[in-house]
Amino acid sequence: MDGDIASQNADAANTEMIRLWRTWKTVLELLVDRGYEITEGELKITLDQFKDKFSDPLGYPDRNKMKTSARPTELMKQKYTPLPSKSNPDPQPDCGLIYVDFCPDSTAVGTKQVRTFNHFIDENNYHTGIFITQTPISPSAVRLLSGIPGRICEHFQEQDLLVNITRHELVPKHVLLSPEEKARLLERYRLKESQLPRIQVSDPVARYLGLRRGQVVKIIRKSETAGRYASYRWVI
């Protein structure tokens, strides 16, 4: 009987390990898709490597160890640099170090944990933070998370990241336009940005790409007649 319980335990640990491995991989893919520097080796981590790295003695995943940070690539910096204006002739890119943290608490994630996370982000001068929890967080915690001036904090649930939604065949490719490309697009079609179709910031793909209000994203779909079809959406 003892053996039974032990094996059941091991099964549960293994299931959770696999789920978390998939979440971890999606997080890394998300960082790459946003334009952060992640090595190929990190991205292609196998389940065994993951187990070695993040399991506790009992075989369960140890979320305290699961944190990572990444630097933006030159390409990403370019995309996030606003156009020079008269008042700001030498604009700096509006992106920087990103920090990802898995919250170890399995229930009741409220303002307490979020405050610790916010404090950590602020203390270490990260530009962006991604807070990943197992359960939904309380409404006040959501508000608190988005409340640090000058920094961007996002929240995901582990189950939202089990599968990388952008790899699904029905999800078209979304490409963020740089301010320069956006200006050229508006010039080319003689549009004001408010005349473009829109996409919400809370859209799953927009959340995945970390889009911000005012940006324009190019959506490339397959088309039977034209091969591919590009449309543009303004993030609101």
Partner 1 sequence: MTTPPDRAQQSTLKTSLPTAYAAVNAQQPRPAPPSELTPDEQEKYLLARPGATAQHLDIALQHAHQIQAQKDAENLILDRILDLVTLPTSPSADPAAPSAEDARTFKAALVPFRPSDYDNLTLERNYDQLCGYGLCPRRHRKEECGPGSQGSFKFKWGAKGSGPGGRGRSMDIVPQEKLEKWCSDDCAERALFIRVQLAEEPVWERRAGDKRNRNILLLEEARAKRMQETAAAATTGSSSKDVQGKEDVTAELDLGNLTLQDTNRGKELALERGDAGLVFRDGRVDVQIKEKERELHHPVAAPQLRPEDAAGGSIEGYVPSEDRGKQPADDGDVLDQI
Structure tokens at 54: 């993040």
Stretch that binds partner 1, among 68-76, 133-141, 158-166, 189-197 (CB under 8 A): 133-141
Candidate list 138, 154, 171, 218; residue touching partner 1; CB under 8 A: 138
Write down the least CB distance from residue 135 to partner 1, Å: 10
Candidate list 108, 191, 220, 230; residue touching partner 1; CB under 8 A: 108
Using an 8 Å Cβ cutoff, are 67 and 99 in contact? yes
Q: Which is nearer to partner 1, 28 or 109 (CB)?
A: 109
What phi and psi values does residue 36 have, to the nearest 5 degrees? -95, 160
Tracing tokens 């582990």 back to the chain, one arrives at 158
x/- map, 11-50, partner 1, by CB under 8 A: ----------------------------------------
Candidate list 140, 195, 223, 231; residue touching partner 1; CB under 8 A: 140
Q: Which is nearer to partner 1, 27 or 144 (CB)?
A: 144
Stretch that binds partner 1, among 39-47, 75-83, 142-150, 172-180 (CB under 8 A): 142-150
Nearest to 153 by CA among 178, 200, 120, 186: 120
What phi and psi values does residue 156 have, to the nearest 5 degrees? -130, 155
Structure tokens at 10: 């091991």
Residue 220 touching partner 1 (CB under 8 A): no
Q: Which is nearer to partner 1, 12 or 220 (CB)?
A: 12
Candidate list 73, 81, 111, 157; residue touching partner 1; CB under 8 A: 111
Half-sphere exposure of residue 96: CA atoms within 13 angstroms, side-chain side: 13
Residues 67 to 106 in contact with partner 1, rule: CB under 8 A: none
Cβ within 8 Å of residue 21, ≥6 positions away = 45, 47, 50, 51
Residues 147 to 166 in contact with partner 1, rule: CB under 8 A: 147
Stretch that binds partner 1, among 24-32, 132-140, 190-198, 224-232 (CB under 8 A): 132-140
Contacts with partner 1: how many residues (CB under 8 A)? 11
CA distances from 73 to 64, 93, 170 (A): 27, 11, 28
Residue 139 touching partner 1 (CB under 8 A): yes
DSSP for 9-76 reads HHHHHHHHHHHHHHHHHHHHHHHHHHTB---HHHHT--HHHHHHHHB-TTSSB-GGG-EEEEPBPHHH
Q: Which residues bind partner 1 (CB under 8 A)?
A: 108-112, 138-140, 143-144, 147
